[in-house]
Amino acid sequence: MPGVRASLGFLRPGQLFEGNQEVDGGQQEVPYKVDVRVLGVSFEEGTVCGSLELSGIPSMTIPINTFWEGEIIDNRNNFFFTKQWGANDCIDLGHWSLFSQFQPLRSDVKATGGKGLNLDELDCIFMRWKEVQFIDKRPLHAGLTIAGFYYMCLDRTSGQLEGFYFDPVSVPFQRMLLQASMEDCFGFQSGAYDLR
């Protein structure tokens, strides 16, 4: 049953998001360039998938490409509490709380998991993305891993996509900040209208 979400132009197959991921390099934060391409979306099943390209990694001369699968937090198929990938309710609540859009929901999510909330009416879409494989050779020497996952929040109106990576053995709270690109778009597009 497609709801309000199905009319959003920013979360659709082919959409490109561009930006950076900040990783604490010890002395200073090191920004990596990130390009994300959405390859598939099913609002009925609450799923999304795509590819992620990371470049600018100090020890790597070529970009790293991964394929990811995601869950749209819709309170029908997927909920705020992860229950996998090493996350528990406390970790989930801590990461979701990093998003300003989550603050009005925090007490409901803490008390009931937010299961009674109508998320279709929000100005954002919350998701979890899990990288499942390297598309290119596995970059063993760079110390990169895909063991963790991203907590994501897409602003329906502006196309800004923010995320935080969680992996119990990696640097905490790696922040990704991306913006929807108008590449390959013809016509006018916004979170409310899509004219082609």
Which among 19, 4, 14 is positioned nearest to 41, based on CA atoms?
14
Asked whether residue 25 carries a pLDDT value surpassing 80, the answer given is: no
pLDDT in tens, 170-192: 777 789 999 999 875 544 444 44
Asked whether residue 12 carries a pLDDT value surpassing 80, the answer given is: yes
Tally Cβ neighbours within 10 Å of residue 50: 21
- Give the pLDDT of residue 186: 46
CA distance 11 to 45: 14
CA dihedral for 73, 105, 20, 131, sign (positive or negative): negative
Between residues 193 and 43, the one the model is more confident about? 43
φ, ψ (nearest 5 deg) of residue 108: -65, -40
φ, ψ (nearest 5 deg) of residue 112: -130, 5
| Residue 78: C-alpha distances to residues 34, 131, 148, 152, 187 (Å) | 26, 17, 18, 13, 33
Tokens matching residue 102: 């989550």
- Give the pLDDT of residue 26: 53
Tokens matching residue 123: 């100005």
Q: Report the DSSP pairing between strands 149-155 and 124-134.
A: antiparallel
pLDDT in tens, 72-108: 999 999 999 999 999 999 999 999 999 999 999 999 9
Between residues 1 and 24, the one the model is more confident about? 24
Q: Is the pTM of this model over 0.75?
A: yes
Least reliable range by pLDDT among 43-47, 60-64, 151-155 = 60-64
What is the average pLDDT across 109-118?
A: 93
CA distance 165 to 174: 5
